[in-house]
């Protein structure tokens, strides 16, 4: 599975590790049980035992694969499979070699697979399976001491819990990953709401006045045409002003300081579970145009991190020196060219028009955007 912004590479690796670890355990159990069946006579019984063990382990592997992928087979089917396999192993344990140890392990593995594939309403399978496993061990053991079946039952329980815990840990990590993405979505929605609130604050009053004046002009059209014309001229002026205000909001020309933009970005990213810090060196006064341009860079980079990366850490660095002001926005979660370059390309053109530049650097572990404006552009 190719990692995306919605599926972290760590989660994909953990899913693969869980599957291969579980499969290796099942192969080991099958080899151990089959090796114990080889001396059994007659040959027909030996063959039946080997086929049963391999079948149980194969079914367990199938249901573990389904559980690892997050699906849940019908509970009745799982219960039927567990009952049939348990009965088969119980029957075979009567003719097994003394001790019966390997014969309870396939059943324990299948019990773990059943428990991993059902919801909470079917979790009674675990204690029931433990009882069946203990009975299987006791029946299959020819020893007079109770320690042998007790030891076998304990080993079977440890085997079942060990296999089940691998899937359980994977599901816990998957839930945490989903919660992490929900936090990102919530942070992005909060940023959109903030932008919508800014747009409403600017446009709401103008549109309300335009509506009232146009309604007044309609009523005055017959009684006082001159005044109606004057009102419509006011409407035109208000419409042009509203259009200009809208463009200012979209282009980021509102009087919001760069420090505020950086603080908002750090707050939003931290809320999304991305550890974010700000580093600043030098503090000369910046012009409004410079703060607006760099504020746009901060907004665009924040949006890109939330939507198009798997970042865990971000750093915003602002430095001012004799050669100008430099802003660097870096994160540790590059996922390749998954995002459209339109936003950054537009910002690069705008910085170039102001005498600056916008650079993008990508490595295997970091993606960084650097914006530079010359000294004369920020004084």
Share of the chain above pLDDT 90, in %: 6
Q: Is 140's pLDDT higher than 80?
A: no
Note the pLDDT of residue 315.
Answer: 92
Share of the chain above pLDDT 70, in %: 69
Segment 179-191, tens digit of pLDDT = 877 877 787 777 7
Note the pLDDT of residue 133.
Answer: 56
Segment 142-153, tens digit of pLDDT = 445 566 666 666
Q: Is 370's pLDDT higher than 90?
A: yes
Give the span between the Cα atoms of 112 and 86, in whole angstroms: 13
Domain residue ranges of the chain, discontinuous segments joined by +: 9-179, 258-377
Span 219-232, mean pLDDT?
A: 86
**Confidence grade of residue 376 (pLDDT, cut at 50, 70, 90):** low
Q: Most confidently modeled of 169-178, 227-236, 297-306, 353-362?
A: 353-362
Q: Most confidently modeled of 91-95, 193-197, 311-315, 344-348?
A: 311-315
Span 358-366, mean pLDDT?
A: 88
Note the pLDDT of residue 346.
Answer: 82
Span 337-348, mean pLDDT?
A: 67
- 70 or 176, which is more confident: 176
Note the pLDDT of residue 215.
Answer: 84
**pTM listed for this prediction:** 0.51
Comparing 17-31, 53-67, 95-109, 167-181, the range with the smallest average pLDDT is: 95-109
Q: Is 318's pLDDT higher than 80?
A: yes
CATH of the domain spanning 258-377, picked from 3.40.50.2020, 3.30.565.10, 3.30.60.50, 3.40.50.1450: 3.30.565.10
Provide the mean pLDDT of the chain.
75
Note the pLDDT of residue 224.
Answer: 87
- 73 or 328, which is more confident: 328
Comparing 239-253, 310-324, 358-372, the range with the smallest average pLDDT is: 239-253
Span 171-182, mean pLDDT?
A: 84
**Confidence grade of residue 120 (pLDDT, cut at 50, 70, 90):** low
Note the pLDDT of residue 371.
Answer: 93
**Confidence grade of residue 99 (pLDDT, cut at 50, 70, 90):** very low
Segment 231-264, tens digit of pLDDT = 888 888 878 877 877 777 666 545 567 888 888 8
Note the pLDDT of residue 48.
Answer: 78
């Amino acid at each position: 599975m190719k990692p995306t912004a919605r599926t972290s590479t760590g989660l994909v690796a953990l899913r693969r590790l869980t599957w291969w670890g579980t499969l290796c355990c099942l192969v080991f159990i099958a080899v151990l049980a089959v090796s114990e069946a080889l001396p059994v006579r007659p040959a027909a019984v030996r063959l039946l035992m080997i086929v049963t063990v391999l079948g149980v382990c194969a079914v367990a592997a199938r249901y573990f694969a389904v559980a690892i992928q997050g699906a849940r087979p019908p509970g009745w089917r799982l219960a039927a499979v567990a009952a049939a396999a348990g009965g088969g192993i119980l029957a075979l344990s009567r003719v097994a070699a003394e001790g019966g140890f390997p014969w309870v392990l396939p059943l324990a593995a299948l019990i773990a697979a059943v428990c991993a594939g059902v919801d909470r309403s079917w979790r009674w399978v675990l204690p029931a399976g433990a009882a069946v496993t203990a009975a299987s061990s006791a029946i299959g053991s020819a020893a007079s001491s109770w320690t042998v079946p007790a030891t076998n039952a304990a080993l079977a329980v440890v085997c079942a819990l060990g296999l089940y815990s691998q899937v359980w840990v994977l599901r816990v990590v998957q839930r945490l990953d989903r919660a992490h993405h929900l936090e990102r979505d919530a942070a992005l929605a909060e940023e959109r709401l903030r932008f919508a609130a800014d747009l409403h604050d600017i446009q709401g009053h103008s549109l309300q006045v335009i509506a009232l004046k146009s309604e007044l002009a309609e009523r005055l059209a017959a009684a006082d045409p001159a005044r109606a014309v004057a009102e419509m001229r006011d409407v035109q002026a208000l419409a042009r002003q509203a259009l200009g205000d809208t463009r200012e909001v979209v282009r980021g020309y509102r009087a919001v300081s760069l420090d505020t933009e950086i603080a908002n970005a750090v707050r939003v990213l931290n809320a999304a579970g991305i550890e974010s810090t700000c580093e600043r060196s030098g503090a000369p006064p910046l012009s409004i145009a410079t703060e607006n341009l760099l504020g746009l860079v901060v907004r665009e980079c924040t949006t890109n991190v939330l939507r198009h990366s798997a970042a865990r850490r971000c750093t915003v660095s602002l430095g001012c020196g004799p050669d100008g002001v430099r802003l660097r926005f870096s994160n540790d979660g590059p996922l390749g060219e998954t995002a459209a370059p339109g936003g950054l390309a537009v910002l690069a053109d705008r910085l170039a028009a102001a005498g600056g530049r916008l650079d993008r650097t990508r490595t295997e572990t970091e993606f960084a955007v650097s914006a530079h404006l010359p000294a004369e552009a920020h004084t």
